[in-house]
Amino acid sequence: MMQRRTALSLLAVGAAAGGASLFLTRPEGPAAFDLSARAQGSVEIEDITLGDANAPVKVVEYASYTCPHCAAFHEDTFKAFKRDYIDTGRAHFTYREVFFDRYGLWAAMVARCAGADRYFGVSDILYRTQNEWARAGDPAAVAAALKRVGAQAGLDAAAVDACLQDAEMAESLVAWYQANAERDGVRSTPSFLIDGEMHSGNLSLAQLGQLIDDAS
C-alpha cells in the first residue's frame, strides 16, 4: 500500500525527451513543487467515471499509477468488478488520481490527454506496463516510456509532449488531488470511498461486493 507523503518535489519535471526539456516552470525558473503548500490551478478538472450515475451505490477509487498495489487491483480485480457491479448498474464508479510522485502525475496527464472515451484504455496500459515505464530510470527515460504508452493508445508524440508541457493542467491536477485528499481523508492507495465511507487496501472482488451489498 502506498502511503501519502506530506512534501515532495512533484512538478519539477526536468526531463529531456526528444531534445525538449519537460520543465513545468514558474517565473523564477524550474521549480520543485512542495505538497505541503497549497497548489493553485486554473483548469477545471473533471471526474473520470463509469456506469449509471443513478446507480444505488457510489464507489470512488483513489489510486496512483506508480502504486504496485493499485496495479495489482486493476490487473486482478477491476475487470470482474466492472462486469459484475458497474455494467449491471449496481454501482457508479469514479476514478480519482493520487499524486505521491511526479511520475504518477505525468502518467495521469498522458491518460487524460487521450480523452474520457479512451482514458480507461490508457489506464489499463499504464498499469499493465507499470514496471516498464515507472522504473525506466531517469526522468528522460520515464518520459520516453510514457510516450510509448501514448503511442499504444493512438496518441502521437507531439500530443503527448503537449500534455506533459501543460503546466496549468499539472498544477490544477495537484490542487484537485489536494482538495480531494483533505476532504476524503486519503492517506494511502488504493483507497475506496463507498457511499461516503473510506476503505483502504487492495480489496478483493468479494470484499468490494460485500461492502457494496452492505451499502445498498
Q: 1 falls in which pLDDT band (50, 70, 90)?
A: low
How distant, in Å, are the alpha carbons of 25, 165, 175 from that of 40? 14, 17, 6
What would the mean pLDDT of 15-31 be, rounded to a whole number?
32
Instruction: Provide the b/e sequence for 125-156 (b: ≥16 CB within 10 Å).
Output: bbbebbeebbebeebbebbbbbbebbeebebe
User: Each residue of 160-184: pLDDT tens digit?
Assistant: 889 999 999 999 999 999 999 999 9
Give the SS3 label for residue 13: coil
User: Each residue of 27-76: pLDDT tens digit?
Assistant: 232 223 444 456 677 889 999 999 999 999 999 999 999 999 999 999 99
pLDDT at 24 over 60: no
pTM reported for the whole predicted model: 0.84
Go through the domains of the chain in sequence order and give each one's CATH number. Answer: 62-215 (3.40.30.10)
Residue (of 206, 204, 191, 190) closest to 69 by Cα position:
190
pLDDT at 21 over 90: no
Q: What per-residue confidence (pLDDT) applies to 88? A: 97
Q: What per-residue confidence (pLDDT) applies to 204? A: 96
Largest CA distance in the chain: 54
Which residue has cell 490544477?
172
192/53 Cα distance (integer angstroms) = 17
Q: 191 falls in which pLDDT band (50, 70, 90)?
A: very high
Give the SS3 label for residue 125: helix
The three three-digit cell numbers of residue 83, written as one number: 462486469
Return the percentage of the chain with pLDDT > 90, whole number: 70
Q: What per-residue confidence (pLDDT) applies to 132? A: 94
150/68 Cα distance (integer angstroms) = 20
Q: What per-residue confidence (pLDDT) applies to 137? A: 84
Q: What per-residue confidence (pLDDT) applies to 2? A: 59
Q: What per-residue confidence (pLDDT) applies to 42? A: 84
